[in-house]
């Protein structure tokens, strides 16, 4: 196991009836909150009212900043920063899924520097500080409620890039599974795929000495496979919603990653798809992951893929290559059962930009994706083509 | 899943070469540290020198308080509090296993109140605050390095009782697996049993809706079963030591417990054994656990015990009662393979005080242990007798 520092001080308020306690936590960080949200579903389903009522009762004033896009754009962040400065906001309260929280993180950091926020994303400006962030989660998927990362899209440069800082780790997050019952089947499936992808990106590494992390990762994956179909069958199944929600936080908050080499492969490939085509992130991950595993399967990688199959999908084959092949099929079939369109064509992506995206992907990774298996531009292109 | 608040802000410095970073963290909490340790093994194996050198280099002065007992006694805590007050200490640095850290927690809380520290343990005095605690772990077992709990023995009243407060959660903990290579086989086995017991106490509850927690618990147990024998075979196996160490923290820091009913059963029964006889805690847990599971096995509990067997020990039986019985045998056999004496007689406990201990145990639990299955005084006595 490699050496590491683990520090995740986010306070999680989990379950129903925690809005008041959450509001008191927000109050401890400031008197005026920027409420960041997306297309307005939180206003329709009552979450906005419930939270703002609790915040006002706790003595926190609120300023609205709605309209954050599903792949959050840097323009929306700039507008948020302007509002923070104009209104004298001192705490950021995103109310939504990963997109809204990711935008809130860049607003929080961008508000404390004169640099343009895109410069933070591309690493040309430093994160000197950040306003405190307290999130209200409405979609179990990205884990942004308990991690330091954020992904922002710049339509002008056709770039969708990740950045992060310990300074933007949320101080508090309200995780009420009841807030996710109105998420439709498509986004429930995409969210489940996203949680599983984070877990698998952490799991599939060349060094297997972090047995605690990997065994706990298998547990998170089993929970997704247990709860995902249940939530799809009955959107109001609070037990399934609760398990997906708590899985989303642990998939990516550092526990499953720390002590291991960093080897994320599928996310960089997917980011090009949603930068070029604005598709749903989790769907892109679900399409690419089985093709990626098939591409990297070899005598060397088979034991880990076989272990994954045995632990997560109860694959019985004793031969590692057989078990690995069955595991990849089982994963593909699971995504099909979740109703995810499993080809790029079904989400409107043809051959036309594949080469351009593969090149951009390799470039963003510094030439080669150093993952479970190194992926060069031609590997990335082959995986895209196999996903058509 | 029940509602809960999860907040574990301890910063973990994991692995080799982190002493300097840890010392800087200590420095951020104070200028004068009380070094709390046990029988002096940390002075023989170089850990004391390495840490105090790093602390002095960081500008932290140190005061020694050694001699903490394996089941830490309240007198040693009182002496520590006197030293803190006399020397003007402002941060507590325990260097050892759970006993040392547990004593440090009561010193940290006791130093900020005029009440006798035993009154904190028995709930007659409030924890009004605590000096910051930064731990150096030398034994993977109790998880005290990342939790809010502490267990203290009072020889005068023959009581060994747990208490806890968020105020005594360590601010930072240094987890260097190399610091545990000199732990002998007996204590390695006992520590592994302790980690597994914490995990099982959290796992076996009447409500199974917290699937994420339970699946991750199965992962922690698999890691113990993987790493325990490896560390026993070769004490210098750093990979095994690292996995046991990281498992110890996650078994009990709240992740596996929160969102579920509280149902600890074996710890209260074991505490009487070590209060009356001063035996090694983990050994007492290993002896009692299979007998407890056998005692509570019924058509109602069989599915969960069977799930445990299938996930952790790869039990194949499809019938739940068969699988549960095989799981209990597999657990017993695992402890035997770890070299743990598996009867009370082998650790010097005869029939003479069993009834008295069963009575005391029920009393301390308020009459009945409300666990996976409720345990009355006669159940506790039956489990003790089955363990002879």
- The per-residue pLDDT for range B223-258, each reduced to its tens digit, is 999 999 999 999 999 999 999 999 999 999 999 999
Structure tokens at A1: 């196991």
CA pair distance A311, A77, nearest whole angstrom: 42
- Partners of A173 on chain B (C-beta within 8 Å) are none
Do A95 and A36 form a contact (C-beta atoms < 8 A)?
A: yes
Question: Can you give the CATH number for the domain in which A131 is found?
Answer: 3.40.50.1970
Q: Give the sheet arrangement for strand B11-14, strand by strand.
A: A4-6, B11-14, B172-175, B134-137, B91-96, B32-36, B61-65
Closest CA to A7 of B246, B7, B12, B134: B12
Q: How far apart are CA B230 and CA B225, in angstroms?
A: 9
Q: Is B213 on the interface with A (CB under 8 A)?
A: yes
CATH number, position A323: 1.20.1090.10
| Cβ–Cβ under 8 Å, residues A158 and A353 | no
Is the CB of residue A293 less than 8 Å away from at least one CB of chain B? no
Polymer length of chain B: 388
Write out residues 3-22 of A within 8 Å (CB-CB) of B: 3-18, 21
Q: For position A278, what pLDDT does the model report?
A: 81
* B100 and B159, same domain (yes or no): yes
Does some domain include residue B148? Answer: yes
Among the partner-chain residues A9, A13, A259, the one whose CB lies closest to the CB of B9 is A9
CA B185 to chain centre: 18
Half-sphere exposure of B317 (CA within 13 A, CB side): 18
- B10: which DSSP letter? P
Please indicate whether, in this complex, the C-beta atoms of B218 and A223 are within 8 angstroms of each other. Answer: no
* Per-residue pLDDT at A76: 98
Complex confidence, ipTM: 0.96
H helix count then E strand count, chain B: 15, 9
| Structural domain includes residue B2 | no
Q: A214, A118, A105, A248: which is closest to A164 by C-alpha?
A: A105
Q: Can you give the pLDDT at residue B278? A: 81
SS3 B163: strand
Flag if A222 and B215 touch (Cβ within 8 Å): yes
Same structural domain, A64 and A132: yes
The answer to whether position B5 is within a domain reads: no
What three-state secondary structure class fits A73?
strand
- Find the residue in A nearest to B22 (Cα): A5
Say yes or no: A211 contacts chain B, CB-CB below 8 A: yes
Which tokens in the block code for residue B197?
């017991």
Q: What is the pLDDT of residue A262?
A: 84
Q: What is the pLDDT of residues B60-104, one digit of tens each?
A: 999 999 999 988 999 999 999 999 999 999 999 999 999 999 999
- Asked whether B56 and B31 are in contact (CB, 8 A), the reply is no
- Name the domain boundary from A156, A179, A202: A179
Q: Which residues of B touch A217 (CB under 8 A)?
A: 219
Q: How far is B227 from chain A (nearest CA, A)?
A: 8
Q: Which domain holds residue A34?
A: 11-179
Token couple for A141? 């998927």
Residues B243, A1: C-beta atoms closer than 8 Å: yes
| CA-wise closest residue to B1 among A227, A22, A191 | A227
Helices (H), chain A: 19-27, 41-44, 47-57, 74-87, 98-110, 117-121, 185-203, 211-233, 238-252, 266-277, 281-296, 302-313, 320-337, 354-364, 377-386
Q: Quote the Cα angle for B186-B189-B192, to 5°.
A: 150
CB contact under 8 A, B220 and A220: no
Other beta carbons within 10 angstroms of residue B236's beta carbon come to: 10
**Token couple for A305:** 């893929």
Same domain for A380 and A245? Answer: yes
Same domain, B64 and B28: yes
**A162 has which bridge partners?**
A151
| Cα–Cα nearest to A134, from A15, A243, A67, A34 | A34
Residue A6 lies in a domain: no
Measured distance CA(B247)–CA(B195) in Å, rounded: 7
Please check whether residue A1 lies inside any domain of the structure.
Answer: no
* In the block, residue with structure tokens 């914490």: B198
Interface check B182 vs A, CB under 8 A: no
User: What span, in angstroms and rounded, lies between the C-alpha atoms of B15 and B30?
Assistant: 24
User: Is there a contact between A243 and B216 if contact means CB atoms under 8 Å apart?
Assistant: no
Task: Answer yes or no: do B250 and A255 touch at CB < 8 A.
Answer: yes
Separation of CA B107 from chain center: 18
Distance CA B356, CA B344 (A): 15
Cα gap B49→B136, rounded to integer Å: 12
Q: Which residues pair with B172 in a beta bridge?
A: B11, B134
Does A158 lie in the same domain as A18? yes
What secondary structure letter does DSSP report for B344? Answer: T
Could you say which residues of chain A have pLDDT below 70?
A: none
Name the pairing type of β-strands B4-6 and A11-14.
Answer: antiparallel
The secondary structure of A219-269 as a DSSP string is HHHHHHHHHHHHHHH-TT-HHHHHHHHHHHHHHHSSTTTTTS-----HHHH
Sign of CA dihedral A307, A312, A313, A316: positive
How far apart CA B194 and CA B199 sit, in angstroms, is 9
Domain boundary residue among B128, B160, B179? B179
Based on the domain organization, do B210 and B100 belong to the same domain?
Answer: no
Asked, for residue A5, whether it belongs to a domain, the answer is: no
Q: Kindly state whether residues B151 and B221 are assigned to the same domain.
A: no
Å from B4 to nearest chain A CA? 5
Is there a contact between A5 and B17 if contact means CB atoms under 8 Å apart?
A: no
Compare CB distances from B4 to A14, A216, A223 and report the shortest one's residue: A14
Phi, psi of A5 (to 5 degrees): -115, 125
A245 shares a domain with A225: yes
Q: How many CA atoms lie within 13 A of B29 on its CB side?
A: 23
Q: Which residues from chain A sit within 8 angstroms of residue B314, using beta carbons? A: none
Question: Closest-CA residue in chain A for B226?
Answer: A211
**Tokens, residue A276:** 């070029």
Closest chain B residue to A243 measured between Cα atoms?
Answer: B212
Same domain, A169 and A205: no
Q: Which residue of B has its CA nearest to A8?
A: B9
Which among B212, B218, B227, B256 is the top mutation candidate for probing chain A, defined by the most A β-carbons within 10 Å of its own β-carbon?
B212
Using the Cβ of B247 and the Cβ atoms of chain A, whether some distance falls under 8 Å is answered with yes
| B141 and B252 both lie in a single domain | no
Contact yes or no for B212 and A21 at CB 8 A: no
pLDDT, tens only, A70-89: 889 999 999 999 999 999 99
Question: Rounded to the nearest 10 degrees, how much is the dihedral formed by the CA atoms of A239, A243, A246, A247?
Answer: -170
Question: Are A215 and B222 inside 8 Å of each other by CB?
Answer: yes
Is the Cβ of B222 closer than 8 Å to some Cβ of chain A? yes
Q: For residue A386, what pLDDT is reported?
A: 98
CB A97 within 8 A of CB A184: no
d(CA A142, CA A160): 15
- For residue A273, the model assigns a pLDDT of 93
Residues A72 and A126 in one domain: yes
**DSSP secondary structure of B118-147:** HHHHTTSS-------BEEEE-SSSS-GGGS
Q: Is B216 in the A-facing interface, judged by CB distances under 8 Å?
A: yes
Q: B179, B210, B244: which is the final residue of a domain?
A: B179
- Half-sphere exposure at residue B213, Cβ-oriented, CA atoms within 13 angstroms: 28
**How many separate domains does chain A show?**
2
pLDDT score of A71? 86
Residue A209: how many other CB atoms lie within 10 Å: 16
Instruction: Report d(CA A87, CA A320) in Å as an integer.
Output: 60
Specify whether B25 is located in the same domain as B83: yes
- B253: its two tokens: 């820091």
Name which of B215, B217, B260 to mutate to probe chain A: the one with the most chain A Cβ atoms within 10 A of its Cβ. B215
Q: What are B164-188's pLDDT values in tens digits? A: 999 999 999 999 999 999 999 999 9
The confidence score (pLDDT) of residue B192 equals 98
Contacts of B8 in chain A (CB under 8 A): 8-9
Q: What's the pLDDT score for residue B262? A: 84
The reply to whether B65 falls in a domain is: yes
Q: Which residues, given as ranges, of chain B have pLDDT below 50? A: none
Residue B6 belongs to a domain: no
Å from A7 to nearest chain B CA?
5
Say which of A1, A8, A17 has its CB closest to residue B239: A1
């Amino acid at each position: 196991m490699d050496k590491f520092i683990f520090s995740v001080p986010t306070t999680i308020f989990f379950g129903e009836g925690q809005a008041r306690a959450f509001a008191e936590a927000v109050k401890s960080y400031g008197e005026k909150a920027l409420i960041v949200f997306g297309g307005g579903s939180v206003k329709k389903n009552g979450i906005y009212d419930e939270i703002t009522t609790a915040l006002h009762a706790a003595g926190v004033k609120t300023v609205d900043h709605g309209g954050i896009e599903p792949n959050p754009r840097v323009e929306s962040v700039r507008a948020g920063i302007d509002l923070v400065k104009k209104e004298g906001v001192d705490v950021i309260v995103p109310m939504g899924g990963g997109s809204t929280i990711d935008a809130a993180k860049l607003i929080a950091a961008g508000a404390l520097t004169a640099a343009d926020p895109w410069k933070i994303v591309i690493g040309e400006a430093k994160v000197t500080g950040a306003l405190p962030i307290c999130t209200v989660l409405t979609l179990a998927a990205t884990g942004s409620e308990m991690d330091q990362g954020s992904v922002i899209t710049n339509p002008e440069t056709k770039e969708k890039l990740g950045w992060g800082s310990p300074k933007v780790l949320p101080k508090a997050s309200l995780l009420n599974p009841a807030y996710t019952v109105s998420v439709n089947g498509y986004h429930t499936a995409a969210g489940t795929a996203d949680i599983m992808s984070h877990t698998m990106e952490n799991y599939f590494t060349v060094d297997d000495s972090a047995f605690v992390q990997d065994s706990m990762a298998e547990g998170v994956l089993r929970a997704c496979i247990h709860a995902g179909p249940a939530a799809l069958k009955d959107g109001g199944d609070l037990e399934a919603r609760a398990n997906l929600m708590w899985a989303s936080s642990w998939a990516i908050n550092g526990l499953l990653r720390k002590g291991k080499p960093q080897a994320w492969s599928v996310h960089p490939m997917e980011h090009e798809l949603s930068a070029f085509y604005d598709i749903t992130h989790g769907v892109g991950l679900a399409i690419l992951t089985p093709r990626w595993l098939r591409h990297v399967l070899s005598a060397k990688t088979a034991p880990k893929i076989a272990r994954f199959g045995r632990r997560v999908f109860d694959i019985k084959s004793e031969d590692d290559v057989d078990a690995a092949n069955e595991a990849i099929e089982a994963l593909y079939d699971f995504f099909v059962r979740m109703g995810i369109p499993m080809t790029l064509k079904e989400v409107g992506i043809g051959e036309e930009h594949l080469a351009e995206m593969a090149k951009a992907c390799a470039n963003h990774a510094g030439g080669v994706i150093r993952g479970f298996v190194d992926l060069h531009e031609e590997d990335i292109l082959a995986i895209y083509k196999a996903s058509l």
